[in-house]
Amino acid sequence: MNVLLLATALFGCGEPVQGLWLEGFGFEWQYFNHRLSHFEVGLQQESVSAAVIGGTSTTAVVSDLPEGCDEEFCQEFPFLDNALVQARWARTETRDAAFGEGTASLVVDSVGASTTIEVPLSGRTGSEIAAIIVGLNVDTDQGFVAEDSCYASVQGWHPRRIAVDVSSVTLLEDKETASVEVTAAFEAGLSLEEERACIDEVAGSATAAVVVDVLVVSGKEAEQHVIAHSLAYEAGNTPLSPAEQPEPDLSQRALDTSIEDALVGFGAMDFAFHQTETDGRGAYLRSWSLGASSVEGWASGHASNYSPGTQLSGFDYTFEGRVEVLAVGAPVERGVVSASLPAELDEEGLPVVSELGL
């Protein structure tokens, strides 16, 4: 994680510090819905880094099957796709808040896991303190799930749950360091497709490496908003003519805050897909995003699987999140970056990460 916090060239008590954070991020595939094998968004001083991979059907790269595996039940469909990536960023320079950054790395399954990190702070701490997510990397390339598995996890999973929480933020005795608990969970579901029986045999053992970039902020005034909503789309005449999946009405996902000059970000996000079905289906994602705006007055997590030609089912999701709002005592500059990125792997088979200027 590159340095996000820049003290001015001057030294001494009360000098301004700069904070840079994300108010939201997400992607949408150009052509079809896909599994999720790699999602990455990060924040640098002058850019957002991003990469999205959805398996063979986005990179056209096919993994070799182990000896004895039946290709009929382990099929892949090579194709190339592009992901429209978007990130909402904000920054400020202030004498009335303190900022600090840290990174937590976990390997998680459906049960989840937690770790605690310590984050050094720069600036003037106040009576309030919070932490938000300013970068996220979810990667399913954990090798073959088991010795007798015919499915390579690098090809991704059909997620049923993706959750991250940065909480239990406390200022340590030195008043210059914060402790943050970071928790994550990842659950894979079934494809329910005969030609992909290899996936379904091992989906219950799926794990993902999750890296979370955390920004801690301390100031004089704070609010915490717990949000929860859900949405369900009918299948329609799938796969060629699925029902439309309109975007949610953001007026129904209001964020009401009285704090001006505010840092706004997500301290927690928890997406669960296909929760109205009892067959264990996982999601082919066409889009996945979360965002919040104190200026426009909304906070939302959203996803879809709309994909004429390949859509196999309807879609539903539930989203629970926690939005942290904290006064920074100075004007906040905001912007949005977006780009269409090809799903590319380098010579070593790793995702190609693109840099998008702020």
What residues make up the domain containing 348? 17-357
Q: 265 lies in a domain? A: yes
What is the per-residue pLDDT for 3? Answer: 42
What is the per-residue pLDDT for 10? Answer: 35
Q: 245 lies in a domain? A: yes
Whether the per-residue pLDDT at 8 is higher than 70: the answer is: no
SS3 194: helix
Q: 228 lies in a domain? A: yes
> 47, 29 in Cβ contact below 8 A?
no
Give the integer Cα–Cα distance in Å for 46 and 51. Answer: 17
DSSP 345: B
Q: 4 lies in a domain? A: no
Q: 8 lies in a domain? A: no
What is the per-residue pLDDT for 145? Answer: 74
What is the per-residue pLDDT for 222? Answer: 97
Whether the per-residue pLDDT at 154 is higher than 50: the answer is: yes
Other C-beta atoms closer than 10 Å to the C-beta of 36 total: 26
What is the per-residue pLDDT for 6? Answer: 44
Whether the per-residue pLDDT at 61 is higher than 60: the answer is: yes
312 backbone dihedrals φ, ψ, rounded to 5°: -110, -10
Q: 6 lies in a domain? A: no
Q: For tokens 């920074």, what's the residue?
A: 328
> 311, 305 in Cβ contact below 8 A?
yes
Q: Which of 179-183, 248-252, 276-280 has the lowest mean pLDDT?
A: 276-280
What is the per-residue pLDDT for 78? Answer: 97
What tens digit of pLDDT does each residue of 266-295 get? 999 999 999 998 899 999 999 999 999 999
Q: 9 lies in a domain? A: no
Total number of domains in the chain: 1
Whether the per-residue pLDDT at 321 is higher than 50: the answer is: yes
Q: 77 lies in a domain? A: yes
| Strand arrangement of the beta sheet that strand 47-53 belongs to | 122-123, 98-108, 208-219, 128-139, 38-43, 47-53, 354-357
Cα dihedral 267→91→301→25 (10° resolution): -110
Whether the per-residue pLDDT at 349 is higher than 50: the answer is: yes
Whether the per-residue pLDDT at 193 is higher than 50: the answer is: yes
pTM: 0.94
Whether the per-residue pLDDT at 256 is higher than 50: the answer is: yes
User: Could you tell me which of 90, 101, 6 has the C-alpha nearest to residue 330?
Assistant: 90
